[in-house]
Structure 1
Amino acid sequence: MTSAQPLYPTPNPDPFFAAPGNLADLAPGDVVRTRRLDTGLYVGTTIWHVAFRSTNSAGNPIMAVTTVLIPAGVTNPPLVSYQALINSLGTKCNPSYSLLNEETLDAWGAVLPLGRGWAIALPDYLGPTVAYGAARLSGMVTLDSVKALQRAPELGLGASQVALAGYSGGGMASAWAAALQPSYAPDLKLAGVAAGGIPADLEELALGLGFGFHPGFGLAFAAAMGLEREYPERLPISDQLNDTGLWFREITHDECRRFLLLHGAVRNAEQLAATKSLMDSPDARAVLRENSLRYFEGVPQAPTLIWQGVFDELTPFETVAGIAARYCRAGAPITFSPYPIAEHMTTAVAGLAEAWTFLEARFRGEPAPTRC
């Protein structure tokens, strides 16, 4: 019978992605190694992989990687770390690999600002175990990725202004990075943050999913497996799976968004779970809350745009609106932008132009508007 221990992804066989033995001696954001890549589809840019030291949810050192595209002939370009959609469990799904094979769904929008002369970075913000759903982890990795880009002298980004952007899971990583920055990376200055479609309450989403069929079940299952990877003692989800569930875990543990959505569409928790008691566990619910922006007391200091679909059932509007209102009451420079749209990814496209315009104004030094 398949082990009920967490099932981790197959490690990337490329030695560039192997952590060094002295990782614990490095500080968060320190560079481990860099390499230059062929430009491929992205003509007119220099592409680099940068490996760096970061921190996981237990406070232990990990190595992560970010990919940066720098427009040719531009000195000290503004830098945007774009947290792409990594709705996945396999290392092959990370932007460091998938940016070059079209798996990164929002790459087309992420790289648009290259035409403005900006550098664009896409970090593997779920860490080496691809801990999908581990939102706090994603915020720390995002912040450390930017610090590493500034510390690598061969990139020429040490004096660049920095902003963050992302949507959905990438919006969650960006919003967490903004809220964590004052405490986790107080030495890092952010010119602005644009985050949309934020899954801001994982407990609410899990309870809302229930045990019935849902078109996003494959991604919900992946998030459960990703959180178990990050919290193996506190969230033993595999112990709650029946034989079918363990089989489904096996066939999905290295897979990406399209596979997960396709094979999850005809399955539900009722089919895969041996028990319905997991959400009765106070520790399990505590893990979900620890990764829910709704319950994190930190407040961004950087000018932040939050855009959200008013009728989006995947990421409930009222939860995100409540967070924006709390930030505003705390004096944070927040611009909250609701879109009267129901479909989750349509809101991503609708708000992207506003996001880039917002960040461009911050790079120009214009005062940030406050709109709650």
Structure 2
Amino acid sequence: MRTLLWRSAAALFATLTLLLIAGPPAEGQPTTPAADPDAFYWPPPDLAAHPNGAVLRTRPVDVSRYGNADGWQILFRSTNSAGAPIAATTTLMVPRGGVDRPLVSYQAIINSLGTQCGPSHTLFTGQFQEAPALGPILARGWALAVPDHLGPTSAYGAARLGGQIVLDGIRAAKQLPEMRLVRSPVGLVGYSGGGMATGWAAALAPTYAPDLPIVGVAQGGVPTNLNEMATGLGFAPHPLFGLAFAATLGLEREYPSRFVVEPFLTPAGAALRDQIVNACSQQIIDDGAGHSTAEVTRDAGAVLTAPLRAVFDDNSLVASPLAPRAPVFAWHGAGDQLAPLDSTTTTLRRWCASGTRVLLNVLPGDHGPAAIEGIPGAFGYLGDRFAGVPAPSNC
């Protein structure tokens, strides 16, 4: 978690500044990941006929490495940013015995472009970097859902999409009697990119999924203002440049009618894109290390424009009028250089003004250390909400 995101902001948004320019170009198509060879993930022909959260198929999985729990994977219907139906996946772990246990949806950090990099795969290959957080959740007797919140095209960077997938995954988990969660209260938790999906799920829930009994939200290190992060950042070579470039490609996948990257790539940029188009995080970091925006783009003079800022705003909680109904615990590093604290406090103040009970815990240090230090408080906060303790607030 420390390695994946906490120093990549400048490279990420400098790249987006140059690549996501005004209007869709006349040529080029978004790159998409290779189709998953596992037919479980394939959408059924009648996908559009199902409502959001409808269960499309399920299968049992062995989750014994995480605790004494039964496991399933669920393919369910959700909706992308253009309103089109998609098939998404969540992995469910339910401690054996008991009915209507609290259900926690855990949004992982997924910095990848290949569909094989989602939790429904990495949970079982030893590559799930946040695995140490899952055992304590199950040990509390809580059920656990871990969604592939980047969706079927691994649209890295599309946070609002992630929120919708989170909510529909919870709906799907609560529908199946054998999972014993029909009346379970729900909590949400996630950090950084996982925190973006968590925050968007919380903000969308009152309108997108008012049926869900979400009793508490714990989000940490959330980048809430993408435009702020983009403005004024430099374009020098960066060791985590690959993550920046990958996020550009991920947003292109989710917004293909608003921009396409291909016409603005140099040969070196096209080569790097082809190297990482199906890659997981470590390969993306390795292949992109030391590269720069000037190397991969043809137009170093491009500037932030209205269409680009609109894409950023579409995925920035600070720009959204939505607010959670469920109480929120937010933790954040005081010196966070990836996700500035000021934008988070601006977002949380607006939520407070809308009536949301918010508890903000500001920790010393930067983005990476806060990821680890805030987890005990997050789990404690959710435990109190599940127990019916009134939510504290420091609005």
Give the TM-score taking structure 1 as reference length: 0.96
In structure 1, what residue type is equivalent to 2:295?
A: Q
Count of aligned positions? 369
Q: Secondary structure at the match of 2:231?
A: helix
**Equivalent residue, structure 1, for 2:23:** none
Q: Structure 1 residues 72 and 33, CA, compared in 2 at 3 Å: closer, same or farther?
A: same
Distance in 2 (alpha carbons) for counterparts of 1:201 and 1:191: 26
In structure 1, what residue type is equivalent to 2:195?
A: G
Distance in 2 (alpha carbons) for counterparts of 1:82 and 1:137: 16
Q: How does 1:116-155 map to 2 (within 5 A)?
A: 116-155=140-179
Per-residue CA distance 1:156-181 (angstroms, 9 max, x = gap): 11111111100000000000000111
Distance in 2 (alpha carbons) for counterparts of 1:301 and 1:202: 24
**Equivalent residue, structure 1, for 2:391:** 368
**Equivalent residue, structure 2, for 1:49:** 73
Distance in 1 (alpha carbons) for counterparts of 2:139 and 2:257: 46
**Equivalent residue, structure 1, for 2:6:** none
For structure 1, which segment, 38-47 or 73-82, has the greater mean C-alpha deviation from structure 2 after superposition? 38-47
Which of the residues 338, 347, 354 maps onto 2:370? 347
Q: Please list every run of 5 or more consecutive structure 2 residues that lacks an aligned counterpart in the other structure.
A: 1-26
Per-residue CA distance 1:65-86 (angstroms, 9 max, x = gap): 0001111223221110000011
Aligned-residue sequence identity (percent) comes to 44
Q: Secondary structure at the match of 1:111?
A: helix
Residues 90, 256 of structure 1: 8 Å contact kept: yes
Q: Structure 1 residues 82 and 51, CA, compared in 2 at 3 Å: closer, same or farther?
A: same
Q: Secondary structure at the match of 1:80?
A: strand
In structure 1, what residue type is equivalent to 2:146?
A: L
**Equivalent residue, structure 1, for 2:217:** 193
Aligned Cα root-mean-square deviation (Å): 1.4
1:174 aligns to 2:183 (yes or no) = no
**Highest RCO, 1 vs 2 (Cα 8 Å, sep ≥ 6):** 2
Residues 125, 138 of structure 1: 8 Å contact kept: yes
Residues 30, 249 of structure 2: 8 Å contact kept: yes
Give the TM-score taking structure 2 as reference length: 0.90
Per-residue CA distance 1:58-113 (angstroms, 9 max, x = gap): 00110000001111223221110000011111111100001112222112113321
Distance in 1 (alpha carbons) for counterparts of 2:37 and 2:71: 20
Distance in 2 (alpha carbons) for counterparts of 1:263 and 1:15: 30
Moved over 6 A (4+): none
Residues 275, 287 of structure 2: 8 Å contact kept: no
Q: 1:208: how far off?
A: 5.0
Q: How does 1:292-307 map to 2 (within 5 A)?
A: 292-307=316-331
Per-residue CA distance 1:159-212 (angstroms, 9 max, x = gap): 111111000000000000001111111111201010001011222233354321
1:255 aligns to 2:279 (yes or no) = yes
Q: Secondary structure at the match of 1:276?
A: coil
Q: How does 1:1-372 map to 2 (within 5 A)?
A: 4-276=28-300, 278-342=302-366, 344-372=367-395
Q: Secondary structure at the match of 1:74?
A: coil
In structure 2, what residue type is equivalent to 1:81?
A: S
Distance in 2 (alpha carbons) for counterparts of 1:350 and 1:111: 17
Q: Secondary structure at the match of 1:50?
A: strand
Q: Secondary structure at the match of 2:374?
A: helix
Q: Secondary structure at the match of 1:191?
A: strand
